[in-house]
Amino acid sequence: MMVEKISVDVVIKGGMVLAMEDKGVIENGGVATSGDSILFVGSSKEVEARFSAAAEIDASGCVVMPGLINGHTHAAMTLFRGIADDLPLDQWLNQYIFPAEAKNLSDEFVYWGTKLAILEMLLGGTTTFCDMYLFEDSAARAAKEMKMRGVLGEVLYNFPSPNYGPLEEGFRYTEAFIQKWRGDPLIFPSVQPHGLDTCSPDLLIQSKELADRFGVPLVVHVAESKANVDYVKNRYGKSSFRYLDDLGVLSKRFVADHAVWVDLEEMEIMAERGVKVITNPESNMKLASGLAPIHRYIEKGIVVGLGTDGCASNNNLDLFGEMDTLAKLHKVYDQDPTHMDAFRVLNLATICGAQAFGLEYRIGTLRAGKKADIIVIDFNKPHLTPLYNPFSHLVYAALASDIRDVMVNGEILVRERKLKQADQEEILAKAREVSKKVNGIRT
């Protein structure tokens, strides 16, 4: 008896599907998507028998998996890439980056800088990013136009901002930003005070109240460098997370970027409050900030996602490179090659990143009902042949340039490495044009 097929928008078949729900691998797998969501994940045979699609992607020789999640970046800093390197964090930030931002930032700068970042991220298999920057409404506009998923927040600190001016305006801007974007299918607003040395206790408390009022993430740089931790100790007489806990700002919605210099008591506090961590190993290496105790966090049940940090301290937005670095660095650090195995590292870059922002019911794995954020990686390459273990290849051998197709929210944005929804040449030309106006950097 003929069974009528279900009409769907896209089927992907013939590839090796890693749903990332567990270590399972579907050798000749298929995925069907309808609208913005995944409808079915299974074998190619089942997909062929049950669905007829408007568009088909033949993924033979490819791996199909959930899009990667860049848990922390400052996207528009792509336009400051390579402008000041080889400096310690406080000098780099205070003598170069903050002055450069004060002189150069504008809506236009952030709009094109974010588009450039999204271009790089999409072509490297990243489908969601968390961004802390200025003129964030322009970042949101760039993301929306490029159909990228983002958790976005205007950076708040106690000194005047090139965007909003005094802090009171910053809170007004953030609230308006949340009101404007909440409920959007792609843009998830958040509250993002910069750090413990740039934000007063009051600022942090008000930020927490605002985040709670709208139920959005509260994202803060915490304990990034030794100097940063010493500042908090000298000023407040406490460790970073003890200080934050005493302020009452820690909760399940609190996302700590970096968390490098943290003692055992602080880890207990973090675990108890449900604090999430985003680790950025390459940025921490480049600024010689140190190495976050990720293995200990995971042992204590603390959710850890992976980020690249901004392009001026990494200097790229490549999560494949970041995964490779994370794994190897922690093996050396712990002097244990079993630490940070490939599957775990891939989890950090997918479902754990989703959990960090409370998005695990929408993204992070391939499952029917979740949003269709899917990447197709071309394994028909010398450095990916032969294939014994796809998790191993993805972490230790694959390159961002192996990404072939990318889908976000059910829409194919990259096909055969070509961007479909935006003009790549226009973005590159605009980025060069804006960079010519960048000035005021001490070099």
259 versus 372: smaller Cβ distance to Zn ion: 259
DSSP-based three-state secondary structure for 68 = strand
Q: Pick from 278, 199, 191, 273: which is nearest to 236 by CA?
A: 199
CB of 188 to Zn ion, least distance (A): 18
Residue nearest to Zn ion (CB): 309
CB of 173 to Zn ion, least distance (A): 19
Residues in Cβ contact with 153 at an 8 Å cutoff, skipping those fewer than 6 apart: 131, 132, 136, 174, 177, 189, 190, 191, 192, 217, 219
CB of 227 to Zn ion, least distance (A): 15
192 versus 350: smaller Cβ distance to Zn ion: 192
Q: Pick from 69, 146, 50: which is nearest to 411 by CA?
A: 146
CB of 137 to Zn ion, least distance (A): 20
309 versus 373: smaller Cβ distance to Zn ion: 309
d(CA 214, CA 217): 9
Residues in Cβ contact with 408 at an 8 Å cutoff, skipping those fewer than 6 apart: 67, 122, 127, 147, 148, 149, 186, 372, 373
Interface ranges with Zn ion (CB under 5 A)? 309
279, 304 contact by CB (below 8 A): yes
d(CA 66, CA 51): 21
68 versus 366: smaller Cβ distance to Zn ion: 68
245 versus 309: smaller Cβ distance to Zn ion: 309
Q: Could you give phi then psi for residue 332, rounded to 5 degrees?
A: -65, -45
d(CA 260, CA 244): 15
CB of 370 to Zn ion, least distance (A): 28
Assigned token pair, 288: 């010689």
Q: Residue 40 CB: number of other CB atoms within 10 A? A: 19
d(CA 191, CA 253): 10
CB of 220 to Zn ion, least distance (A): 10
136 versus 309: smaller Cβ distance to Zn ion: 309
103, 124 contact by CB (below 8 A): no
282 versus 309: smaller Cβ distance to Zn ion: 309
CB of 77 to Zn ion, least distance (A): 9
- Strand spans (E) along 197-345: 218-222, 254-258, 276-279, 304-306
Q: Residue 275 CB: number of other CB atoms within 10 A? A: 27
Q: Omega of the bond prior to 193 within 30 degrees of 0, cis?
A: no
CB of 92 to Zn ion, least distance (A): 12
Assigned token pair, 209: 């109240």
9 versus 224: smaller Cβ distance to Zn ion: 224
309 versus 402: smaller Cβ distance to Zn ion: 309
DSSP result, 128-186: EEEEEESSHHHHHHHHHHHT-EEEEEEEE-SSPBTTTBSHHHHHHHHHHHHHHHTT-SS
CB of 287 to Zn ion, least distance (A): 10
266 versus 309: smaller Cβ distance to Zn ion: 309
CB of 317 to Zn ion, least distance (A): 12
